[in-house]
Amino acid sequence: MKLDPVDARIRDEIDHHIAELEQRLVAEGLGPDEARAEALRRFGNPDEVGTATRRARAGAGSRLRAFGRALRQDLAFAVRQLLRQPGTGGLVIVTLVVGVAATSVVYSVVHAVVLAPLPFEDPDRLVQVNQTSPQGRLYGMSEPNYVDFRNRLETLSELAAIGYGNPVLSGEGDAEAVEGMRITHNLLETLGMTPVLGRGFTAGEDRYGGANAVALLSEGIWLRRFGGDEAVLGRTLLLDGEAHQIVGVIASDRAWPGVQIFTPLAPNPDVYRDDQRLQAVGRLRPGVTLAQVDQDLGAVAAELSAEYPESNDRWGASARPVREWLVGPSLTRLGWFLLGVVGLFLLMACASVSNLLLARATVRMEEMSIRAALGAGRRRLAGQLVTEAGVLALTSCVLGVLLAHLALRVVQAAGPADVARLSEATVGAPVLAVTTGAAALTVLLAGLAPGGLLLRTRLFAGLRAGRGVASPVSRRVRGGLVVFQFALAVTVLLSAGLLIRSFERLQAVELGFRPSGVVRFGIRLPDGQFSPTEREDYLRQLYAELEARPGVVSVGATSASPYTRFRPSNFVARSDREPALQQDFLPVSWRAVSGDYFAAAGIAVQAGRVFGPEDRFEPDALPENPPVVIDETLAETLWPGGESPVGELLTWFLPGGGQHVVIGVVDAARDENMDMEPRPRIYRPFALAGWDQPSVIVRVAGDPGQAIPMIRSTVRAIDPDMPAIAPTPMLDDVRESVAWPRFSMQVLSVFGAIALGLAVLGIYGITAFSVARRKQEIGLRVALGAAPSGVHWLVLRDAMVLAALGIGLGLVLSFIVTRFLGALLYEVSARDPLTFLIVPAALGAAALASAWLPARRAVSMDPREALVPE
Amino acid sequence: MTEERVDLVPGTLDMMILKALSAESLHGFGIARWLEAVTGDRLTVEEGALYPALHRMEKRGWLASEWHRTEHGRRARYYRLTDAGSEELEARRARWESSVSAVQEVLEAEIRP
């Protein structure tokens, strides 16, 4: 066997020593065998000496190597500890993993949806400009008004406009509707976007009646459908059957997710001014403030009121930051609220972890004292504590980050789909830095506590007093943490409770229509290709084909299906009390409907009748008073006190509106905002109010999802270039409309449940610990004849005082936090007495139950056992 | 061996080895004999315990060593003190003396009944 030079040297040295010793002993007169035995006795076991020497050599290297070896030992020790006593360590890790993951995911979602910078150049200088009705409501802009505002405003360097519309793309395989936007040529410049490929629109292409047959592609569709091929420039696309030349590609997907094709808006300066369908976006000139823009807008609006009194009288205009327009105030509020709650939740997780670690620290003090007494250096002990805390922190953070990524996928798959920015959410580095930083800091601080206590206490005090040394300080700290935990648990649970109650109310809302069993889809009937009668003809054929299919109950169409962003408005008044000014007309929501719309949508008729075959008119033979149907809200507003509106006349404030006769009254349908009382509604026949993309409503007998393929094929059979656009069960739209309330409720419920668990664990821990510590005292009391109930109360009292303090503090905190919740609640007060009663009571009961078990143990303890010192 | 034998005070073996080597180079067996001679055989220390200490101190740079022939013609490893070793010996001696004198003062202090 070949020896290592060091081993050989050690062996030689030992051999030499023993040989010399033997020789000397022989010289002193011992026999050879005796001398051998005596030499070995004096020297010690040569093998053991050899091993010890090798070890001493290896261990005595540089300081760095010594540190490395200590670290290895500590790591191994820390991992062994963790595995041997998985209780505390496991709880610490689980708590932190959940804390880190939940906080990171919610932050990432809120960031992507609410906080992320808008993908425009200098977005803070961008405003959205609205027309404001005499009643102060915000409206979009009509094309002629937009042109006038653009030409006259001085405070804006640009004013661009956007219109929506989903053209059908054909000639590329199956015809399909694509989400599209009509934009003015200056939109890209206004927003500071440059095309990825090709160019934007020219002023000439944006002129009404000009060469408008050009299109821009979104980068998304360009990559997916055209493989990112630069040769798409110059190719033509059939949009609504018309050839459009592709002139450029723009990176629009972040700003308008889902929009695939852009065409020139080419605003018509001579169309009527009441059709406020455009969204206008402008850029402030350098140095101009929002207030100056509003002043400028007011001045221009006043000019237009004077010039076009029949449409613009008393109409104003106002500007707001684009973020407010794109994100919306309630989503922003919800986002900040969720962030606040999640922040509290992270604090709560950290408090729980501190509590667990401090409990363990008091036990560890004993071990530390013994080791210090045996000569372990303080630095080394501190090093060991750091290593243990490091192992916990690292494990929790790594697992937390992994869980965060997984959970975000789940949220993206299951979360609200209407906000497509959600799909862009990623768990970013900054949020991970904050969450893992908080987790790691907590573990390190709480994990080092025994070290700090050790340095402050005399070394051997820890041995004499057993596990009691650290208790006065750490008991107070731990009590404080339990109070804090309960306060946060109350706050999170109360917020969750309020949102759950609100969501329940929302679910119980009387919709006024029956969305179950209904499929809706869009159909494209562009202005240029269909006259009003041709639209009616096509729709009638569609209804006949669909109604002939088995399972179809009734079919109709509407200008806007429930919960879409199209919410057309107008103004009406009783003809016998017609006001002189438009501002005194009643603002209403209106729909153009056709076929058996009311039956298909499940809207009940209250009085009179709804439209039928007798309401068909040729365009050249319109009745003097066209028929309209109104809903109960409008009926009660205009004809209060039980007067019957059926047969009465109603003046509709629109071009060529004139007087209409009310033929029926229907239930109010809450189909615009589920959480708001419906606006008064008026329905008119489709034939009188053409709409280029109506929604067809099909009521079927079975599962609407199953009927979709049948509907697609039936529609395609009529005209392969006119596909059914996005057939969807209407229940999905309803669900989608409350997706954010549902999401926030679910998030808070999960957080609330975990917070409750942590608070209960905290109070259980501190009670169990105190029972263990006061074993002798309790045993003595029992031995001296204390009543079990008295002892029981003694133990419970401490726990309940902490819980009560925490709950009280939590109620105060909740009063502050839920103030921000008020606007997000539906028909539930932010001070809802029931929630404010149930949550603290439930927490109190949970605290009592979790302190009960250790208290019972205290009572049932055998006093003899308790009095024997440990 | 009439005198009482005493155990080695922990941590003092290194100091004694350094002292042994402060005058001349010695091999392990020689150090053991020197200690025996100086203390009059009162210290109970397994002679093998010298070797881990020697190797550790060599690794720390306080000792250096090389092979030489002994007077009996055997090959043996001779240790000598380095400059760092001399400094270490002085430092340890100073600490030891101050600690002994402190203990001594305590033990000689007058205690009122």
Contacts of A740 (CB under 8 A, 6+ apart): A331, A334, A416, A419
Tell me how many degrees the CA angle A450-A481-A810 measures, rounded to the nearest 5. Answer: 170
Instruction: Quick: pLDDT tens for A102-160.
Output: 888 888 888 887 877 788 889 889 999 999 887 777 888 989 999 999 999 999 999 99
Query: Closest approach of chain B CAs to the CA of A4, in angstroms?
Result: 15
Contact A679, A589 (CB under 8 A): yes
Model confidence at A465, pLDDT cuts 50, 70, 90, reads very low
Chain A nearest-CA residue for B28: A17
pLDDT at res. A457: 55
**Residue corresponding to tokens 């549902």:** A742
Which own/partner contact pairs does A471-476 have at CB distance under 8 Å and 24+ positions apart?
Answer: A471/A362, A471/A773, A474/A358, A474/A361, A474/A362, A474/A449, A475/A770
Chain A residues within an 8 Å CB radius of B1: none
Query: Closest approach of chain B CAs to the CA of A34, in angstroms?
Result: 18
**CA-to-CA separations, A806 to A139, A366, A401, A758, in angstroms, rounded:** 49, 31, 31, 13
Half-sphere exposure of A832 (CA within 13 A, CB side): 24
Mean pLDDT of A830-852: 89
The percent of residues above 70 in pLDDT, for chain A, comes to: 88
Name residue A214's beta-bridge partners: A245
Chain B nearest-CA residue for A46: B48
Name residue B83's beta-bridge partners: none
A17 and B75: CB-CB below 8 Å? no
A43 and B53: CB-CB below 8 Å? no
State the best of B26, B44, B47 to mutate against chain A, taking most chain A CBs within 10 Å: B47
The percent of residues above 70 in pLDDT, for chain B, comes to: 88
Nearest to B48 among A43, A54, A59 (CB): A43
Taking the C-alpha atoms of residue A110 and residue A198, their distance in angstroms, rounded to an integer, is 35
Interface of B with A (CB under 8 A): 27-29, 32, 46-49, 51-60, 70, 72, 74-77
Tell me how many degrees the CA angle A478-A484-A487 measures, rounded to the nearest 5. Answer: 145
Position with higher pLDDT, A16 vs A787? A16
CA torsion sign, A216 to A221 to A223 to A225? negative
**CA-to-CA separations, A159 to A141, A251, A270, in angstroms, rounded:** 12, 20, 19
Query: Which residues 104-123 in chain A show a CB within 8 A of chain B?
Result: none
Query: Closest approach of chain B CAs to the CA of A372, in angstroms?
Result: 16
The 3-state DSSP class for residue A196 equals coil
Position with higher pLDDT, A483 vs A613? A483
CA proximity to A544, closest of A303, A715, A328: A715
Taking the C-alpha atoms of residue A725 and residue A542, their distance in angstroms, rounded to an integer, is 14
B47 and A17: CB-CB below 8 Å? yes
Instruction: Select the highest-mean-pLDDT range: A3-12, A265-274, A842-851.
Output: A842-851
Helix (H) or strand (E) holding A181: strand A180-183
B49 and A10: CB-CB below 8 Å? no
pLDDT at res. A290: 92
Instruction: Quick: pLDDT tens for A326-382.
Output: 877 778 888 888 888 888 888 888 888 888 777 777 666 666 666 666 656 666 777
Nearest to B59 among A43, A48, A61 (CB): A61
- Strand segments, DSSP code E, in A451-544 are 518-522
pLDDT at res. A468: 44
Chain B nearest-CA residue for A18: B29
CA torsion sign, B92 to B94 to B98 to B103? positive
**CA-to-CA separations, B74 to A23, B25, B30, B31, in angstroms, rounded:** 12, 16, 13, 16
Taking the C-alpha atoms of residue A684 and residue A608, their distance in angstroms, rounded to an integer, is 15
Chain B nearest-CA residue for A51: B52
Residue A337 CA to its chain's centroid (Å): 11
Instruction: Quick: pLDDT tens for A762-810.
Output: 888 778 777 777 777 777 777 777 777 777 888 888 888 989 999 999 9
pLDDT at res. A473: 61
Chain B nearest-CA residue for A66: B60
Chain B residues within an 8 Å CB radius of A10: 51, 55
Contacts of A210 (CB under 8 A, 6+ apart): A204, A266
Amino acid at A211: A
Contact A26, A32 (CB under 8 A): yes
Query: Looking at the complex, does the CB of residue A47 fall below 8 Å from at least one CB of chain B?
Result: no
Question: A208 pLDDT exceeds 70?
Answer: yes
Mean pLDDT of A293-321: 90
Query: Closest approach of chain B CAs to the CA of A25, in angstroms?
Result: 13
State the best of B50, B51, B57 to mutate against chain A, taking most chain A CBs within 10 Å: B51
Mean pLDDT of B36-65: 84
B47 and A52: CB-CB below 8 Å? no
Helix (H) or strand (E) holding A218: strand A214-218
pLDDT at res. A467: 44
B48 and A44: CB-CB below 8 Å? yes
Average pLDDT score over chain A: 83
State the best of B55, B62, B75, B78 to mutate against chain A, taking most chain A CBs within 10 Å: B55
Contact A234, A187 (CB under 8 A): no
Query: Looking at the complex, does the CB of residue A19 fall below 8 Å from at least one CB of chain B?
Result: yes
Contact A426, A408 (CB under 8 A): yes
Question: A469 pLDDT exceeds 80?
Answer: no
- Do β-strands A627-631 and A659-666 pair in parallel, antiparallel, or remain unpaired? parallel
- Can you give the three-state secondary structure of A428-443, one letter per residue? CHHHHHHHHHHHHHHH
DSSP A122: S
Query: Closest approach of chain B CAs to the CA of A455, in angstroms?
Result: 23
Contact A309, A154 (CB under 8 A): no
Count helices and strands in chain B by DSSP H and E runs: 4, 4
Question: What's the pTM?
Answer: 0.69
A57 and B49: CB-CB below 8 Å? no
**Residue corresponding to tokens 């694509």:** A178
B55 and A56: CB-CB below 8 Å? yes
Instruction: Quick: pLDDT tens for A655-712.
Output: 556 889 999 999 999 998 887 788 899 998 887 766 788 899 999 998 999 999 999 9
Write out the two tokens for A709. Answer: 């393929």
